[in-house]
Amino acid sequence: MIKKIRNDGIFKKPEIQKIVKSKKIINKGVKDNYKKIYIFSLASIFIIFSFFSLPSIERYLDDRFAKNKTIINISKKKFEIALNNNGDTGNIDENVNLDNIYDDIDVFSSNDENTNTSRLSASTIEQLFKDTDYTLKKVKKTKLVNIGINLDHLPTEMKNIENTKKRKNLFIQIILPLIIEENLKIKLDRKKLFVILNKNNNTKSDLEWIGKKFKQYGVSKNDFPTLKTRMDEVPVSLAIAQAAKETGWGTSRFAQKGNALFGQWTWSGDGIKPAGAEIDSTHKVASFKVLKASVKAYLRNLNTHPSYKQFRKERAIQRDNDEKLNSLELVKYLDKYAETGIEYTKILSKIIKQNSLTEFDDVKILPTSAKLKSLI
């Protein structure tokens, strides 16, 4: 019998192919793993790089596109609490830095002359009012006043007007538009504050405006309850009464020489020395370039000085109760305005009542445009 000889080479070949094929599969798997590790490493490096570089990129974009920047207001809820006065009212209106609250008001030294503005005579002013049909009777009837009739100074002849009623009427006609105009500015600021705080997001200009108001009203940053309490109007009747009392209806030396309508004191060296002041006394009555600046400083004084904190608190209560500001109630909280205290407030109340000054409290500015009318 012929013995078959097995060809080992034939039988071993498939095994070798199998091993080679297996090796190829293993090598492919290893390469795939390396590839995944490589991609993962690159991704990790990219993420880490992005994490550390994003702040720089953000600052760069902020600098490049600052004008279009919108800042998200994440404290809307807090703002709403402040506006609704639901916060801790016990800490409202704390005394803070008041050093810069008058920076935007035009004050001048008593030694300087008012060469930039003109002083009209009483007769010229009376004729101007007649030509423009400006009478207090008409104002009370229409509840409108034209702020275009703004005067920078009181006439020097105020003392010479012997008819008391005529002198009082002229004084009121001169200062009424000034008071209403400055009150309107505060009203519009207050309206803007409410609009900004009720937004879902605030622009950079919004936040800059609020920062400016914090400074003007001497309020700590983000203390919105206090800003709301301070940024408010003063009843026109109360302002007229105080101006009348402090100036003798426009006849005082301080009003004539320094446009000082409200007898505010200063220790800065700029002002008029009271005639009866003691030799070692350093205070003076603040002088102003124009009458309007005096009105503005007066409103800022009542809205910021710690002596009138109770005045502002009572005003805020009237606002929260949706009441019209009541000058005869608010005047009771101005006992610290003068050394005579309570007697001073009684005199002011008498002036308000005797001259029917509350009739001017709801007088508004005569709109000169549709835009102004919508704002008012």
Q: For the chain, what is the mean pLDDT?
A: 78
**Cβ atoms of residues 210 and 82 within 8 Å:** no
Of 90-94, 229-233, 236-240, 245-249, the poorest mean pLDDT is in 90-94
113-117, 118-122, 176-180 — most confident range: 176-180
CA 295 to chain centre: 17
In the chain, % of residues over pLDDT 90: 55
The answer to whether 258 and 287 are in contact (CB under 8 A) is yes
Q: Are strands 265-266 and 284-285 parallel, antiparallel or unpaired?
A: antiparallel
Alpha-helix runs per DSSP H in 65-135 = 76-83, 122-131
- DSSP-assigned states of every residue in 254-304: HHHHH--SS--EE-SS-SB--TT--TT---EE--BSSHHHHHHHHHHHHHH
Would the pLDDT of 197 be above 70?
Answer: yes
Tally of CB atoms within 10 A around 218: 21
Distance CA 126, CA 376 (A): 28
Residue 347's nearest CA partner among 235, 234, 253, 248 is 248
Residue 28 predicted with pLDDT over 90: no
pLDDT score, position 366: 86
Model pLDDT for residues 316-348, shown as the tens digit of each residue: 999 999 889 999 999 999 999 999 999 999 999
Whether residue 363 is predicted with pLDDT greater than 50 in this model: the reply is yes
Q: What is the pLDDT of residue 179?
A: 97
- State yes or no: pLDDT of 350 exceeds 90: yes
Q: Are 230 and 316 in contact (CB under 8 A)?
A: no
Q: Which residues fall within 8 angstroms of residue 175, CB to CB, at 6 or more apart?
A: 239, 240, 243, 261, 291, 295
Least confident of 172-181, 235-244, 289-298, 362-371: 362-371
Residue 289 corresponds to which amino acid?
A: K
| Residue-level pLDDT at 150 | 86
pLDDT recorded at residue 148:
82
- The CA–CA distances, whole Å, from 354 to 174, 213, 358, 360 equal 19, 37, 10, 14
pLDDT tens profile 172-193: 999 999 999 999 999 999 999 9
Question: Considering the chain, what percentage of its residues have pLDDT values greater than 70?
Answer: 66
pLDDT of residue 66: 36
